[in-house]
A and B are shown apart, each in its own frame.
Chain A
Amino acid sequence: MANLIFNITLYHYLILALLLFAIGLAGVILSKNILKVLISAEFLLSAVNINFVAFAFFADNVNLTGFIFSIFTVAVGAVELAVAVAIFYLMYKNKKSVDINEYKELKG
């Protein structure tokens, strides 16, 4: 049991990433506040990053491809966040509300 807890393997990282992804997904789907949705989306990115790094560390630590890819992902995530915040700001200016249920214009 102790071995299972302290001897950290790939699976620990994968389970951590899975939990993080699940939390992020739940946050994206269930939050009412658009900022909360944005924050939860960052959770998803982190979970993916953890996967990249974990696989890179355990499977292939010669080429550093996974590490470098995760750095790119973080950079892309930062840019995405900036754009998303700008869009949300404009949306907020339109509706005077941060409740995601207000944004229903796509309803069929």
Chain B
Amino acid sequence: MEFFIQNASLIILFPLWISVLIFIGKFAGVLKSKKIVFGLTLLSSIFGLIFSIPLFALIAASSGYVYENTFNFLCVNDFSMELGILLDLTSVFMLLIVYAVTLPVQIYSYSYMKNDDGFIRFFALMNFFTFAMCGLVSSPTLFQTYIFWELVGTSSYLLISFWYKKTAAANAGKKAFVMNRIGDCCLLAGIIISSVILFNFAGLPDLADIPYSSIDRVAACLFTYTSEPIFIILCILLIFGSIAKSAQFPLHTWLADAMEGPTPVSALIHSATMVAAGVFLISRLYPIYYQSVFVMNFILAIGLFTAVITAIFAIVCKDIKRILAYSTSSQLGIMFMALGSGALTGGMVYLASHAFIKSMLFLCAGIIMTLYAGKTSLEIFGGLRRKIPVLAFVFLIGAFALSGILFSGFSAKTLIFHHLLETHSYYIIAVLLIISFMTSFYIFRMYFIVFESSLKNDTSKNLSYAMLIPVIVICFVVLVLGFFLPRMAEIKFEIIPVSVELCAVIFAYICYVKIPKLPKIPVLYNLAYNGFYIDDIYTFAVKHIYGNLCSFANYVDDVVFDGVVVLTVFLAKLNSWFSSKFQTGLVQSYICYSVVIIAMLLTGFCLIYSLVAYFAEV
């Protein structure tokens, strides 16, 4: 068993090798067969899954066992940066989730992308993403986390704008990249500030690269050697990195647009793994945030606010993939809230259950899309249950799990509710109940419209069973995961959220099946449909405020800085024009100048000499 731990770095590096192999093979023109590419990909994923299961079992069984293997990557005087691998419960947990979601999604993408020109590029990028994600979750220091954080962002950008010839996809990729960049800048600033504090003020060069293995000491030092406001600013900078990655409130707008990418990408990156990296980072730096009540409340408030508004957006959204994207934002908000309220285990368990549920729902959405030639508008679907009962059943399981009525979603939500009850945070429970209500409402709205309403636009296309099998596999994981999650013994409180969620299901049934032509709430509907105009506010800010600032800067550049240059040139020209007038070409004038100058010099010397003589005499 020691073998698995000793060679754990293989499962991080293997996808990278495969990815590089596919890229080189593609550019050399050797690798043309789609089957070989898919086989290589499958090899790396299966290898990873087989490796990560015993890893998880081993480390979960031995409580508190941590394996760390690092090498010195960068060394400047006393400062040294370590790269390597850290295996503790959190990282092997995340590794297992990553590989357990990656493998079915990759099998699914083979059928999904079969007729695409970019098939080979797609699988190379998917492998690269797997490498980056595994490196991110198993990094021993915050510096390495940042490196892989950027790699994950890059592969996300490349996969969102995978169909780069589509303007919408290219723009969505750019938007995701820029939005993430805001967060990444904040994160980098936070890392550098904390590193400087630890290195210069605390005088601990061995902690300057912020190793997770001694994060408690780091947290204590950071708190001791800073004043309260500085510490809060530092934490908020670090949190902003997570906010951008996990699509939380001020920077949540990129996730819905990221749905322009291929559906397997949405299932793997933008619901299960990459967006969870923000939550993962918060759990890694938890001891730092835990020092300050304000910071914890900040995480809590961001999570709650995002969960509420994105749930509202999901209720009115008309695009199946965007509904799921908003739902992802909302669920990640719940995780933020759980972490902010102190339920670390609850948040991480929720992350695991959500990863499987959401990737399954996305894969279902992808199957529906292939039946309708890539269309995603909710209005064209209807009555699919009679056509594909298996898919409807799977989706129903996902919907029940997501809303927290049954299965893994129920167990995870119970953990969070239990923690909130223990800490007597009744207001948060109230808000969480509202969020749960909205969650089950929007997911069952989608279910009822797509599967239960009257059959519309019958398609002749047949369902590909190669795509259905991975979905069923994840569905099975969702069904059984609930039994493996840590459970609370004996709480009666579970009745309340479940009944609230069931009410929402019945409400959705009434709204979308019994009385389909329900009037819309006038003002709120438009507000929510346009995402509270947050995108428009950003556009306005960029276009008008920032644009005007730019044109002002341009004006200043043109007038002041270029003006100085132009003036200098003009003066030089004037000077040369003036002095060139002395060059008459006549020898006589030159003699004249020399006579005048010699006379002046002699006069000057005489004057100075006589003055010196006079003062010497005096």
A residues in contact (CB < 8 Å) with B:
25, 28-30, 37, 100-101, 103-108
Contact = CB atoms under 8 A, between A and B. Distances in A.
Contacts of B584: 104, 107
Give chain B's interface secondary structure class: helix
Contact of A29 (B580, B582, B583, B591): B591
Contacts of A104: 584-586
A37 B588 CA distance: 9
A107 B591 contact: no
B602 interface: no
A29 B589 CA distance: 7
B233 interface: no
B616 interface: no
Interface string B579-601: 01011111110011001000000
Contacts of B591: 25, 28-29
A39 to B, nearest CB: 14
Nearest to A34: B587
A100 B595 contact: no
Interface of B: 580, 582-588, 591-592, 595
A100 B585 contact: no
Contacts of A106: 583, 585, 587
A102 B569 CA distance: 34
30 contacts: A25-B591, A25-B595, A28-B588, A28-B591, A29-B588, A29-B591, A29-B592, A29-B595, A30-B588, A37-B588, A100-B586, A100-B587, A101-B586, A103-B585, A103-B586, A103-B587, A104-B584, A104-B585, A104-B586, A105-B585, A106-B583, A106-B585, A106-B587, A107-B583, A107-B584, A107-B585, A108-B580, A108-B582, A108-B583, A108-B585
A46 to B, nearest CB: 18
Nearest to B582: A108
B494 to A, nearest CB: 99
A14 to B, nearest CB: 15
A29 B592 CA distance: 7
Contacts of A107: 583-585
* 8 interchain residue pairs of minimum CB distance: A108-B583, A107-B585, A104-B585, A106-B585, A108-B580, A29-B588, A29-B592, A29-B591
Given A25-B595, A29-B595, 14 more contacts: A25-B591, A28-B591, A29-B592, A37-B588, A100-B588, A101-B586, A103-B587, A104-B584, A106-B583, A107-B583, A108-B580, A108-B582, A108-B583, A108-B585
Most buried by B among A25, A29, A100, A105: A29
A101 B587 CA distance: 9
Contacts of A101: 586
